[in-house]
Structure 1
C-alpha cells in the first residue's frame, strides 16, 4: 500500500511563506536575509527528521512494550555551498526511561529501521547518531 501526502506552500511576501496541510500551517523562512521567527528550509528538513524519529518511538514503543516518559532529539546538519546540499547529519536521541541499555538499543534499531524520513535521508547523505538515556 502506498501513502500519499500533500502540502501547499505559497509566498506571503519577500520575508516569508506559509505551508499548509490538513488543518495545520507553518511559517517558512524564505527571506534571503533570514528571519529568526521561522524555520528556514535546512532547519525544516532537520525538524522533519526529528519528527520522524519521535513518531517512530510513539509507534514502536507499544509494540515492544517499551516504557518511557519523554524524548528529545538534537540534530546537527552540515551544508556545503557548491553544489548546495546537506553532506552530513548527526543526531542525539535522548529518552527519559528506566529501561535497560539493551532495550534502549532495540528502540534505536527500530526507529532507524522503520523511519520513512530517516530512511530517505540516510539513502541520500550520511545520517549517524546515538541514543542515550536522559540523565
Structure 2
C-alpha cells in the first residue's frame, strides 16, 4: 500500500497553501476568486490530468510507444444543490506518429491503471477521447 500526506493552511482571506514534501501550492480560497491560483474544482481537474499524464509516462516505455508531447484538457459540470461534480469529460492530445490502434491502446492503459481517474470514475461520469495532434506542417501544405 502507498500512503500520501498533504497539509494545507489558510494564509489569509485571499488564499491558502498546500504542502507535500518540499512542494508548495497556492490555493484559491478567496470568496471573490483569484486568477493566480487553482480553486478546489480546478485542483480536482488538475489531479485527474496529472494522473493521466503520469500514467502515460508509466506505460509508454512498457508499450514502446513513441511520442513528442501530450496535453490533457478537462471540463466538469457542477450542480449547486447539493454542491457536487456531476461529470468530467476530457480530451488527450498526443503528438505522435503511432497508429490509431496504438493510440487506442495507450488510452485503454491510461484509463485502466489511473489511481485518480479510477476513483473519480467510480463517483461520477468520466468520459473522454484521445486523438493525435494535428500536424501544423501538414496543414500548411494542404
- Larger Cα-atom Rg: 2
Please name the residue that 1:34 is paired with. 33
Please name the residue that 1:104 is paired with. 103
Please list, as runs of the form range in 1=range in 2, the aligned pairs for 1:2-41 lying within 5 A after superposition: 2-41=1-40
- Structure 1: gaps (5+ residues): none
Please name the residue that 2:115 is paired with. 116
Query: Which deviations, in whole Å up to 9, do the C-alpha atoms of 1:63-120 show, x marking residues without a partner?
Result: 0100001000000001000000000000000000000000000000000000000000
> 1:33 Cα shift?
1.1
Q: TM-score, normalised by structure 2?
A: 0.94
- C-alpha RMSD of the superposition: 0.4
Divergent runs of 4+, >2 A = none
State how many pairs are aligned: 134
Query: Which deviations, in whole Å up to 9, do the C-alpha atoms of 1:3-46 show, x marking residues without a partner?
Result: 00000000000000000001101000001111111000000000
Q: TM-score, normalised by structure 1?
A: 0.99
